[in-house]
Amino acid sequence: MKPASKNNNYHYNKKLRPLANNLRKQMTKAEASLWKYVLRAKMLNGYQFRRQRPVLNYITDFMAPELMLIIEVDGITHNFENVIEKDEKKTKNLENIGFTVLRFKDEEVLNNIENVKRKLEVYIESFEKNKE
């Protein structure tokens, strides 16, 4: 499969748009916190993030096309074996088209959002250095 890029709209899947819109309205507490305090309105180093973005056959929690970054916030349901396998497959497929996938647990976002923000800033710093 071709790498994700502006030319192919980062493999946007418009068939999943209704489901993505529904999920956007029903974000988890952790997702809503990350969005409100770190990602929305270009608050993180001026980069644009999109919520519940359909990519390939998945709906990603957050995506920053310019950074080729996908952020997944995993809740308690992500601890079950079949879900872990699905998450690994999702991550592998997204990485195969050029994205970096960063995963955070709900508790980490809710209890230590500053550390999550720092990890994202470190990723951005590294991305910008490699771009030069």
Q: What is the pLDDT of residues 77-109, one digit of tens each?
A: 655 566 778 889 999 999 999 999 999 999 999
How many C-alpha atoms does 75 have within 13 Å on its Cβ side? 8
Short-list 69, 73, 85, CA closest to 124? 69
Confidence of residue 76 (pLDDT cuts 50, 70, 90): low
Please give the torsion angle defined by the CA atoms of residues 43, 45, 47 and 18, in that order, rounded to the nearest 10 degrees: -40
Mean pLDDT score of the chain, rounded to an integer? 92
Average pLDDT over residues 13-27: 93
pLDDT of residue 106: 93
pLDDT of residue 30: 95
In sequence order, which residues have a C-beta less than 8 Å from that of residue 87 and are 6 or more positions away? Answer: 72, 74, 78, 103
pLDDT of residue 84: 79
Domain residue ranges in the chain: 28-131
pLDDT of residue 104: 96
Q: What is the pTM of this model?
A: 0.91
- Burial string for 93-131 (b: 16+ CB within 10 Å, else e) reads bbeebebbbbebbbebbbeebeebbeebeebbeebeeee
Confidence of residue 37 (pLDDT cuts 50, 70, 90): very high
Cβ count near 18 (within 10 Å)? 10
pLDDT of residue 75: 79
**121, pLDDT greater than 80:** yes
pLDDT of residue 85: 84
CATH code of the domain made up of 28-131: 3.40.960.10
56 near 13, Cβ under 8 Å? yes
Phi-psi category of residue 9: left, alpha or beta, with phi > 0 → left and psi -120 to 50 → alpha: left
